[in-house]
Amino acid sequence: MEKEQKTLLIRIIIAALLTAALIPLRFLDLPRPVMLLLSLVPYLIAGYDVLWEAAKGILRGQVLDECFLMSIATIGAFVLGYISDGDFFEAPVVMLFYQTGELFQDLAVEKSRKNIAALMDIRPDHANLVEDGLADGAAFRVVSPDEVEPGSLILIRPGEKVPIDGVVEKGESAVDTAALTGESVPRTVRSGDEVLSGTVNLSAELLLRTTKNFGESAVSRILELVENAGERKARSENFIASFARIYTPVVCIAALLLAIAPPLFLKFVLGTDAAWTIWLYRALSFLVASCPCALVVSIPLGFFASLGGAGREGVLIKGAGFVEALSKTGTVVFDKTGTLTRGSFEVEKIIPADPGKVSKEELLELAALAETDSTHPIGLSLIRAYGKEPDSSRVDNIRNISGKGVMTDVDGRTVAAGNSALMASLGISAPEAPEGVTCVFVAAAGVFKGTILISDQLKPGAAEAIGALRENGIKRVAMLTGDRKEAAEYAGKALGIDEVYSELLPGDKVEKLEKMLAETGAGEGAADNGARSGRRSKLAFVGDGINDAPVLVRADVGIAMGGIGSDAAIEAADVVLMDDDPAKVAKAIRISRKCMRIIYENIVFSIGVKLLALLLVALGIGGMWLAVFADVGVMVLAVLNAIRALKA
C-alpha cells in the first residue's frame, strides 16, 4: 500500500469514528449551527482533497468532473439538512462511502500496475564490460548498458540479466527466456548461440560478444513498445472519453431541470406546494449517480491489463487499438519460410548418381565448393553440411545463374549446382524432384553426378497452431510465400491451410493481400491505419522477413516473429511474437477477445446500473446512498472485473 493510500485509510477511519460519535449528540438537542459545525469535522477530514480538486478544476475550466459533482452533492446535503430541519449525517457518510470506494479502486489499480510492472521488469541496470579478452578470470568493469559498443565482450554471471543482444563466445549455461517469450522451461546456450537481452543467466558464467547497441537490442525494443502502447487508443477507449465529455454536461443540465421544472409545475400549474427541498435533494442525488467514472476508469484499465497479460505470454501488442482489431480477426494469412517453417534449410539426403564413382562426401564437396561465395540460404546449408570452410583456391570463375543456380570451375573442370532448369539449359538429364523438398542437382564436366535434397522443416506445433486458429473461429487461413509452388503446396497440405499462393515477390504479396482485404470488405480506402475500423471481419498477416514489412503494414493487424524476425518486420508489425511460435497467434486472438468481452461487460453493466439508479433517484425511490453506490460501487466492481484481463 502506498503512502497516500495509507493516509487516506487513516482519514477514513478517523472520520468514521467521529461520525459515529456524533450519533448520540442527536438526542441532546444542541443548536443546529453547532451540529453543522461538528458534522463538518469528519466531512472535511474524509473529503478535503475532493473539495480541493473540485476547486482546482473550476479554476482550470474543467468543471464537470467527478470531484465537482461529489462536492456539489454533499454541500447541497448540508444545505438541505439545515433548511429542512433534518440532520447533517448524510453528507459525511456519503463522503466516507465515496472515499472508501476510491481507496478500493486505487488498491485494485495499483495491484494491476504492479503485476504488469513485474511482467515487464526486464530492463538491465548494468553490464560487465570485459577488458582482457577471453582469458579465464579476465578483468571487467561495471558500466551502463548504454556505454557498451557492438563487438564488445561482456561477462554474464549466474543470476544476472543479459543486458545486450550478443553471441556466446565462451561458456555454456541455462538461460531463462520467460520475460521475453513466456516460455517457462530454460534453454541451454553455448558457443556460437545468440542470446537476447532480457533473458536471465541461470547456471554458469557466459562471455558474450555484443551484436547491437543497447538501444537496438531486444529488451529496449520491448520496453519501447510497452511505453508507447498507450498512445495507440482503441475505438472503445476513445468512445468512452468522448462519451464522458458529452454525457457529463447533459446530466448536469438534467439535474438542473429536475431541481427546477417539477417544483415550478407543481406551484404554477397544479397550484400545490412546490416542494423545493425534495426536488433539490433528488437533483443533487441525480448528479452523484450520474458520474461516468466506472467507464472512464475501467475501460483503459481493461486494455492496460490485457497488454500486460499478453506480454507475460510472449505476445507484445503495440496498443489498445490492435487488441480490438485482433478480437475481430476472421482471416489469418501466413508467410511460409521462418514463420511456419524453421527458416533454415538443412541437407536431408545425398543421392550420388553412381555411388561406385562418386561418394556422398565427394558429391557434397563439389556442391559446397560451387557455393563458396554464396549468401543464399540453400548455398549456406550446403556449406554447413560440408562441415568446414571450402578451399577457395580450388575455385575460379563463379557465375550465378539467376533463378537457376551457380556454375564455377573447380580444379579446372566446370561444376554446376542448381535446379532442374539449370540442368536442362546445359542439356543434362536430371531425375524428377520429390514433393516437398528442394533439390540441388550437381554436374561436373557435363556429367550428372547426383542429387542433394534440402528441406525447410515445418516448425514443431505448426499444424496444431493452425488447428488452434480453427478452434478460435478463424474460418479462413491462407499462405503467401515466395517459395516455389511445389514446396509451398506441400507445406500447405501438411498444415491444413485453405489457400496457398506461391512464387510471389514482395509486391505480389501486397497485391494478393489487397484482393483478400477487398473480399473481407475493406474497400479501397483502408490502406492506412486510421481506416482499420468498422464492423467487417479483420485480416491478420504473420511474417518475419524484410520482404514481409509492406504486407505487415497493409494488413489490418500485422504480426511479426520477434526472435528471428528482421528489424523492419518488427517495426512494421502491430503485434510481435517473442518466441516465434505460430501457436501464439491463436493465443493473441484469444487474449484480445477476452479483453473485449470484459470491456463490453463493463460498458453494459455500468450504463445499465447508472440508468436504473438515475431513474430511481429522479422518482424519489432512491436517495443519496443509492446514488453513491451507482457511482463508486459500480466503479469498484468494474475495476475488479477489468483486472481479470491480466490473466491471459
Domain holding 417: CATH number? 3.40.1110.10
Is 581 contained in some domain?
no
pLDDT recorded at residue 244: 60
- Is 90 exceeded by the pLDDT of residue 464? yes
Give the CATH number for residue 152.
2.70.150.10
- 269 and 401 both lie in a single domain: no
Q: Rounded to an integer, what distance in angstroms lies between the CA atom of residue 368 and that of residue 382?
A: 6
Is 463 contained in some domain?
yes
State pLDDT tens for residues 82-120.
776 667 877 888 788 778 867 876 775 566 556 545 545
pLDDT recorded at residue 533: 42
- 131 and 77 both lie in a single domain: no
- 394 and 432 both lie in a single domain: yes
Band (pLDDT 50/70/90 cuts) for residue 408 is very high
Instruction: Tell me which H or E stretch contains 306.
Output: helix 293-312
Mean pLDDT, to the nearest integer, of 407-411?
92
Is 217 contained in some domain?
no
pLDDT recorded at residue 522: 46
3-state secondary structure of 354: coil
Q: What are phi and psi of 578, to 5 degrees?
A: -75, -20
Mean pLDDT, to the nearest integer, of 394-405?
83
- Is 50 exceeded by the pLDDT of residue 551? yes
Strand partners of residue 476: 331
State pLDDT tens for residues 333-389.
998 877 888 766 788 889 999 888 899 999 999 999 998 887 677 888 899 899 888
pLDDT recorded at residue 327: 92
Is 308 contained in some domain?
no
Tell me whether residue 335 is one of the annotated catalytic residues.
Answer: yes
Indicate which residue of 65, 165, 335, 579 is catalytic. 335
- Poorest-pLDDT segment among 203-207, 267-271, 314-318, 587-591: 314-318
Mean pLDDT, to the nearest integer, of 194-212?
87
Amino acid at 470: R
pLDDT recorded at residue 439: 87
Is 411 contained in some domain?
yes
pLDDT recorded at residue 587: 93
- 193 and 241 both lie in a single domain: no
Asked if residues 162 and 156 have their Cβ atoms less than 8 Å apart, the reply is: yes
Is 583 contained in some domain?
no
Mean pLDDT, to the nearest integer, of 533-540?
72
- 487 and 417 both lie in a single domain: no
Q: Tell me, what DSSP letter sits at residue 330?
A: E
Give the CATH number for residue 514.
3.40.50.1000
Select the highest-mean-pLDDT range: 129-138, 260-269, 535-544, 639-648.
Answer: 260-269
Mean pLDDT, to the nearest integer, of 137-157?
86
3-state secondary structure of 407: strand
- 101 and 32 both lie in a single domain: yes
> Across the chain, what does the average pLDDT equal?
81
- 83 and 37 both lie in a single domain: yes
Q: Rounded to an integer, what distance in angstroms lies between the CA atom of residue 90 and that of residue 103?
A: 20
Which among 539, 573, 607 is the end of a domain? 573
pLDDT recorded at residue 5: 85
- 184 and 264 both lie in a single domain: no
Percent of the chain at pLDDT > 90 equals 25
State pLDDT tens for residues 499-510.
999 888 777 888
Which among 431, 455, 479 is the end of a domain? 455
Is 468 contained in some domain?
yes
pLDDT recorded at residue 566: 54
- Is 80 exceeded by the pLDDT of residue 227? no
pLDDT recorded at residue 70: 75
- 103 and 196 both lie in a single domain: no
- 106 and 240 both lie in a single domain: yes
Which among 455, 474, 492 is the end of a domain? 455
pLDDT recorded at residue 463: 92
- Residue in the block written with cell 462536492: 71
Higher pLDDT: 193 or 567? It is 193
Residue 182 belongs to domain spanning = 127-160+165-211
| Single pTM value for the model | 0.63
- Is 70 exceeded by the pLDDT of residue 534? no
Q: In total, how many domains does the chain have?
A: 4
State pLDDT tens for residues 59-73.
887 766 667 777 877
Is 498 contained in some domain?
yes
- 397 and 527 both lie in a single domain: no
Q: Tell me, what DSSP letter sits at residue 320?
A: H
Dmax (CA) of the chain = 120
- 435 and 475 both lie in a single domain: no
Asked if residues 497 and 475 have their Cβ atoms less than 8 Å apart, the reply is: no
